[in-house]
Chain A
Amino acid sequence: MLKTQELTLNLGPHHPSTHGVFRCVLNLEGEYIQKAVNHLGYLHRGIEKLAESRTYTQFIPYNGRLDYVAGMLNEWTYVHAVEKLMGITEEIPERAQYIRVILGELQRLASHAIYIASMALDVAGATAWFYGFRDRDEILDLLEMVSGQRLMPNYMRIGGVAADLPEGFIEKCQALIDEFPNRIAEQEGILIGNEIFQARVKNVGPISKEMALDYGLTGPNLRASGVDTDLRRDEPYGIYDRFDFKVPVGEKGDTFDRVLVRIEEMKESVKIVKKALRDIPEGPVMAKVPKVIKPPVGEVYSRIENAKGHLGFHIVSDGSTKPYRLRIYSPCFVNIGIFPEMAKGIHLMDAVVALASLDIVLGEIDR
């Protein structure tokens, strides 16, 4: 008598398409997933605990190690939280605000470029992968110009930014931004419009509006499910109230929608950077903040629209130079939580695509 047996497959922690050291134990019936269980923590470095023994300024470079494909945005979130705690958000110089917006949006473009690229690689479209990484590399060149580093810039400071923009940055950035819509169109041509790609991503891993809200998804993943929310518009921080941009919203919440939302967001980001480059004023880039930062006793929770969702910092201050407790609300951690639900009953090939569509970065999940 023949009998079938469930196959337990260990996807990861060393697997090409788990985007890092993520491990998922799958119960397979043939090649269809019956049950998926997430296992996290392979990249745990205790960053939250480390923060307690670093001064407020010393902790800035650690932020680049969280979501290492969007370091600039993480730093911005952190310094924004500390500024809010000190009550100096209004004193940040104009020029610094514009620089933050420009670099933040460039970083968002880079992060989304990686998203599209890794999405392409997970359906085995190696050519589109290289296109995405080429675009991101040129953005990283710009970040290198301002901060000297490509991935972990350590450029934001409490009260402004570390240094003024270097000579020639505006022109170089302008040239790239003018070129960028063509790059997006190229990506749409080779990947998004491709029939095989669409067959691979349409109706894969759909997340309904209710399910997305129940699981607490944020950012593009939530917008793809049809919830119209964007912190840049809803709770404008910095100078985002001066910019006019659309918030793209998906319909079905499947993988294809998640890709399209990101593509549309890239187009909006290009517009924001364009306007910021036009309006950027001259002036100082650093507010008058004390050399030794000692926020008053109290606590603050501040969140910002990161490339992956709402990144939040909860900081408790006891009045000393170091935070008493620092807690990071990570969008990737929340987003990965829905994966077992998505993976149920779908094919192994689809599960890989569904996982890629959540845009996870393990550095931020495990912290």
Chain B
Amino acid sequence: MEKSFFNTIADALRNWLMNGLGFSDTAAQLTATAIWTLVVILFILMNLIVLVWLERKFSAFFQQRRGPNRLGPAGFLQFPVDIVKVLGKEDIIPANADKTVFKIASTCLFITTILAWAVIPLGDGVILADLNIGLFYFLAIGSTATVSLMMGGFSSNNKYSLIGGMRTVAQMISYEIPMIFSLLGVVMMVGSLRLSDVVAAQQNMWFIVPQAIAFLVYFVATVAETNRGPFDLAEGEQELVAGYFTEYSGIRYAIWMIAEYGNLVAVSTIASIMFLGGWNAPFGLTFIPGFVWLLLKIYFMIFLFMWVKWTYPRIRIDHLMHFGWKFLIPVSLANILVTGIGIYVYRLIIG
């Protein structure tokens, strides 16, 4: 495979650090990693600008409104201006809150988001660490997000926050299981947890075709994992005001939002890589570079998430639990069984 645009830049950077500035091998590696981390953070933030704008425009479109249209072209600069406004707000910490936990909770969620991005490729070879257990790492890091949400809900010393935090834990733990099971089918077919291997295995056929059920299960479970409607019970503004971040204000509140949108992009990317062929071009349209295809697929997934959110009312918590445990988990287990039998039969025939 030929090197992509990003790899060329990375190589040039490393060469310049080692030969131009006389860095040792390790120092050059560390510096390159630091720069790449910065790029990831920037990528999340840049996505955020587009995402918030898209979310507002889509919801306005669904609801027969215009949406933001004053700042910048079609209101595109609304979000950066909002962030500037939020930065000027007072940072209120409730009097009886657990101050340390309260302060670090939102940052903790943001850290897990960035850590998860370490193994997510944005194109062929455009990856910070191409681990051979990449997918496993992603899921493990993703499940620690629950802790920070609980921290936020628990430390605020607000009853609404507490109920919101409790709901989050119940919901996220329940929906993590079908999410992992749904990805297992793909892993069985590929035989590897490395994300670049998964993409390479989809040269001829995207896994959404043989694993359609898994894709649907994954989609539903990730809606719950990212706390978006119709599964946004943790926020539940109708009964819980804002759930676990009721007491947050200013930039701490903004960090919650940034982390949530970062998670949304992360799960959409994983969906594109696992089911939609990653950076493989469909219909042989290879003149468009791989990372453009990947971005298009990511944004298609995000559009699906937004479409669902702005169409459906919120589901009730006991219905949510029933749906997760009694429907999604059996379906995803059945999918694993069928996939296993399929692979066995396939090997038997091929020999």
B318 — nearest CB in chain A belongs to which residue?
A347
Determine how close the nearest CB of chain B comes to the CB of A183; give it in whole angstroms.
12
Q: Verify if B22 is at the interface (C-beta below 8 Å from A).
A: no
A190 within 8 A of B: yes
Complex alpha-carbon distance, A58 and B160, angstroms: 45
The answer to whether B163 touches A127 (Cβ under 8 A) is no
Would you list the 6 A-B pairs with minimal beta carbon distance, nearest first? A124-B314, A125-B313, A130-B63, A123-B313, A17-B238, A352-B239
Nearest CB in chain A to that of B62: its residue: A127
Q: Which residues on the A side are within 8 Å of B209 (C-beta)?
A: none
Which B residues contact A (CB, under 8 angstroms)? 59, 62-65, 159-160, 163, 229-230, 232-233, 236-239, 241, 310-319
A200–B313 Cα gap in the complex (Å)?
Answer: 9
Taking a contact as CB atoms under 8 Å apart, the answer to whether B313 and A191 are in contact is yes
- Cβ of B313 and Cβ of A196 under 8 Å apart? yes
Q: Is the CB of A124 within 8 A of B241?
A: no
In the complex the two chains form, what is the Cα distance from A126 to B163 in whole Å? 23
The verdict on A122 contacting chain B, using a C-beta distance below 8 Å, is yes
| A-B residue pairs in contact (CB < 8 Å), sample of 23 | A9-B160, A31-B163, A122-B238, A124-B230, A124-B238, A124-B313, A124-B314, A125-B314, A126-B63, A127-B63, A127-B311, A128-B313, A130-B64, A131-B63, A131-B64, A190-B311, A196-B314, A200-B316, A347-B317, A349-B233, A349-B236, A349-B317, A351-B239
Report A-chain residues with C-beta under 8 Å of the C-beta of B62: 127
Given contacts A190-B311, A199-B319, contact A123 B238 (CB under 8 A): yes
Complex Cα distance, B59 from A130, in Å, reads 10
A342 to B319 Cα, complex, angstroms: 20
- Beta-carbon contacts under 8 Å, A107-164 to B: 120-131, 134
Contacts of A131 in B (CB 8 A): 63-64
Chain B minimum-CB-distance residue to A17: B238
Question: Which of A9, A16, A120, A352 contacts B313 (CB under 8 A)?
Answer: A120
Contact check, B238 vs A31: say whether CB atoms are below 8 A apart.
no
Per a CB cutoff under 8 Å, which of A17, A121, A199 touches B316? A199
B316-A350 in contact (CB<8A): yes
Asked if A53 is at the interface of the complex by the 8 Å CB criterion, the answer is no
Interfacial chain A residues near B229, Cβ < 8 Å:
124
Q: Are A16 and B64 neighbours in the complex by a CB distance under 8 Å?
A: no
> Max chain A CB contacts within 10 Å: which of B62, B160, B315, B319?
B315
A29-B317 Cα distance, complex, nearest whole Å: 15
Query: Across the interface, which residues of B come within 8 angstroms of A7, CB to CB?
Result: 159
Instruction: Given A130-B63, A130-B65, A349-B317, decide whether A194 and B312 contact each other with a Cβ distance below 8 A.
Output: yes
